[in-house]
Structure 1
């Protein structure tokens, strides 16, 4: 799953959760995809070697490969999203680093915090929110639906443990 729970090394009651979007294509796969697209795209051009027609079709192949490169690179840039939730007996702190690098933060008292799941009506099904201090913030909207369901129960358990400590 694209999230991990950590226990604090100094305080056993503090838990930290890191969430990130799933990366199905590593950088080596990126290079292989670009090279493969170019290699497969040249196959129809082999019959045109030595003719003027190759110069009419080659720009379209290069444009297609450039479009694939741009789309994959854009996907990598938007996947820089990162969320970090810290839960201790006194405070809940959520820090979200957006793809462009801007940071959003939210704090509230652990006792008053609540976690909610919205099966329908949110941007995605089984949308998870944290509420407290007069605000409600989303967490893990980029996760898949089964991952959000599991995360919801884990968040409830962690919050319950923090409140009882």
Structure 2
């Protein structure tokens, strides 16, 4: 799952959430290389011809477009959410891809997770309520992961 609980002390635990990355760096390089190789196979017949130089820029442009699209996807998924739970406090910090940082803080006693099966922008939308605000958490996770996250949050925020 693209989230992990850690305990920094007996009284403090931390939840880190990030989007799932199905194409690692090696896979990215292999994909771009394979697309380039497959796109240049038809050009082998044109070796030594002036027509090769007319078609080669379009092949390179297509490969560059694929590379740019995959890089844009990586950039848009640089999201990190950190929920820190101590005995008294609950703090959620969200780092957006553009570098913007959003924070939410409340007394842990009043923090409550909520699951919205149909009301949110995604199915099984998870929010945290407290301090007069309701904030989303883990909206980038899959539907099953959001359900599991809600169950984890409910168990961790349950009063002792």
TM range, smaller chain: over 0.9
Determine the structure 2 residue equivalent to 1:103: 101
SS at match of 2:6: strand
For 1:124 and 1:59, locate their aligned partners in 2 and report how far apart those are by CA, in whole Å: 41
> 1:13: how far off?
2.5
Determine the structure 1 residue equivalent to 2:7: 7
Give the alignment's TM-score, normalised by structure 1: 0.94
Q: Following superposition of structure 1 onto structure 2, how do residues 42-61 of structure 1 map, counting pairs within 5 Å? A: 42-61=40-59
SS at match of 2:126: strand
For 1:133 and 1:66, locate their aligned partners in 2 and report how far apart those are by CA, in whole Å: 48
Is 1:128 aligned with 2:122?
no
For 2:81 and 2:56, locate their aligned partners in 1 and report how far apart those are by CA, in whole Å: 43
For 1:24 and 1:16, locate their aligned partners in 2 and report how far apart those are by CA, in whole Å: 24
SS at match of 1:123: coil
| Cα deviation 1:103-153 (Å, max 9, x = unaligned) | 100000111111101111211100000011111000000000000001100
For 2:8 and 2:155, locate their aligned partners in 1 and report how far apart those are by CA, in whole Å: 17
For 1:113 and 1:82, locate their aligned partners in 2 and report how far apart those are by CA, in whole Å: 20
Gaps of at least 5 residues in structure 2 are none
> 1:87: how far off?
1.1
| Cα deviation 1:72-99 (Å, max 9, x = unaligned) | 1111111211000011221100000000
Is 1:86 aligned with 2:84?
yes
SS at match of 1:121: coil
For 1:44 and 1:123, locate their aligned partners in 2 and report how far apart those are by CA, in whole Å: 45
> 1:102: how far off?
1.2
SS at match of 2:110: coil
Gaps of at least 5 residues in structure 1 are none
Question: Would you identify which runs of 4 or more consecutive aligned residues in structure 1 move more than 3 Å?
Answer: none
